Amino acid sequence: MKVIGIAAEYNPFHSGHAYLIERAKAVDGGSATHVVAVMSGHFVQRGAPAVLPKAERVKMALAGGADAVIELPTPWALSSAEGFARGCVSLLEALGCVDAMAFGSECGDADKLQKAASLMDSERFGDLLRYRMAGGISYPEAQRKALAEIAGDNLAALLDSPNNTLGIEYIRAMKTLRPYTVKRAGVEHDDLIPLDGYASASLLRKMLAAGRSPEAGRFMPADCRPIVTEAGEKGFCPADETRAERALLYRLRQMTLEQMAALPAVSEGLENRLYEAAREATSYADLIARIKTKRYPQTRVQRLLWNAYLGVTTEDAAGLPPYIRVLGVSEKGLDIVRAAREANILPVITRASQAESLSPKAKRIWDLEAAAADAYALTLPTPFPCGREYTVGLIKYQPTVL
* DSSP of 88-115: HHHHHHHTS-EEEEEEEESS--HHHHHH
Residues 299 and 338 in one domain: no
Looking at the structure, tell me whether residues 99 and 56 fall in a common domain. Answer: yes
**Residue among 84, 71, 2 at smallest CA distance from 35:** 2
Task: Give residue 189's pLDDT.
Answer: 67
Identify the DSSP state of 263: S
Q: Does residue 304 lie in a domain region? A: yes
- Together in a domain, 8 and 94: yes
- The pLDDT of residue 190 is 73
d(CA 309, CA 346): 28
Centre a 10 Å sphere on the Cβ of residue 385 and count the other Cβ atoms it contains.
Answer: 8
The total number of structural domains in the chain stands at 3
% of the chain exceeding 70 in pLDDT = 98
Question: In whole numbers, what is the pLDDT of the chain averaged over residues?
Answer: 95
- Assigned domain for 402 exists: no
Residues 6+ apart with CB under 8 A from 334: none
What pLDDT does residue 186 have? 67
Say if residue 232 is in the same domain as residue 328: yes
Q: Is the pLDDT of residue 191 over 90?
A: no
CATH number, position 83: 3.40.50.620
Whole-model pTM: value is 0.95
Q: What percent of the chain has pLDDT over 90?
A: 90
Residue 68, domain member (yes or no): yes
Q: How confident is the model at residue 251 (pLDDT cuts 50, 70, 90)?
A: very high
Helix (H) or strand (E) holding 124: helix 123-133
CA distance 36 to 306: 27
- Domain closes at, from 291, 316, 341: 316
**Does 132 share its domain with 85?**
no
pLDDT band at 196 (very low <50, low <70, confident <90, very high): confident
Asked, for residue 212, whether it belongs to a domain, the answer is yes
270 lies in the same domain as 153: no
Give a yes or no: residue 165 inside a domain. no
319 Rama class: left (phi>0) / alpha (psi -120 to 50) / beta: left
Distances (CA, A) of 251 to 155, 279, 306: 43, 11, 10
- Domain shared by 68 and 80, yes or no: yes
CA dist 132 to 62, 157, 322, Å?
44, 17, 34
Quote the CA–CA distance of 119 and 287 in Å, as a whole number: 37
AA letter at 325 = R
Residue 253 shares a structural domain with residue 226 = no
b/e per residue 86-118 (b: at least 16 CB within 10 A): bbbbbbbbbbbbbbbbbbbbbbbebebbbbbbe
Instruction: State the Cα–Cα distance between residues 18 and 102, nearest whole angstrom.
Output: 12
Neighbouring residues of 100: CB distance < 8 A, sequence distance ≥ 6: 4, 5, 27, 28, 177, 178, 179, 180
350 shares a domain with 205: yes
Angle at CA of residue 79, ends 73 and 84, nearest 5° = 65
Mean per-residue pLDDT for 221-237?
96
Q: What is the pLDDT of residue 402?
A: 47
Domain enclosing residue 267, as ranges: 241-316
Contact 246, 309 (CB under 8 A): no
The reply to whether 56 falls in a domain is yes
Which of 296, 316, 336 terminates a domain? The answer is 316
Do residues 218 and 249 share a domain?
Answer: no
* 174 falls within a domain: no
Q: Which of 316, 338, 370 is the last residue of a domain?
A: 316
The crossing angle, in degrees rounded to 10, of helices 54-63 and 225-234 is: 160
Q: Is the pLDDT confidence value at 187 over 80?
A: no
**pLDDT tens track for 319-353:** 999 999 999 999 999 999 999 999 999 999 999 99
Q: Is 78 within the bounds of a domain?
A: yes
Sign of the CA dihedral with 308 first, then 311, 317, and 318 last: positive
Cβ–Cβ under 8 Å, residues 7 and 103: yes
Query: Is the pLDDT score of 106 beyond 90?
Result: yes
Put residue 96 in one of left, alpha, beta given phi > 0 → left and psi -120 to 50 → alpha. Answer: left
Structure letter (DSSP) for residue 78:
T
Q: How confident is the model at residue 179 (pLDDT cuts 50, 70, 90)?
A: very high
DSSP label of 195: B
pLDDT digits (tens, 9 = 90+) for 273-317: 999 999 999 999 999 999 999 889 999 999 999 999 999 999 999
Query: In this predicted model, what pLDDT tens digit does every residue of 208-220 receive, in sequence order?
Result: 999 999 999 999 9
pLDDT at 400 over 70: no
- Tell whether the model's pLDDT for residue 268 goes beyond 90: no
For residue 260, which of 297, 305, 298, 292 has the smallest C-alpha distance? 305
For residues 203 and 341, membership in a common domain is answered with: yes
CA 25 – CA 19 distance, rounded (Å): 10
Residue 401 has pLDDT above 70, yes or no: no
> Closest Cα partner for 182 from 344, 4, 360, 351?
4
Question: Does one domain contain both 351 and 222?
Answer: yes
Mean pLDDT of 45-65: 97
pLDDT-wise least confident of 113-117, 185-189, 297-301: 185-189
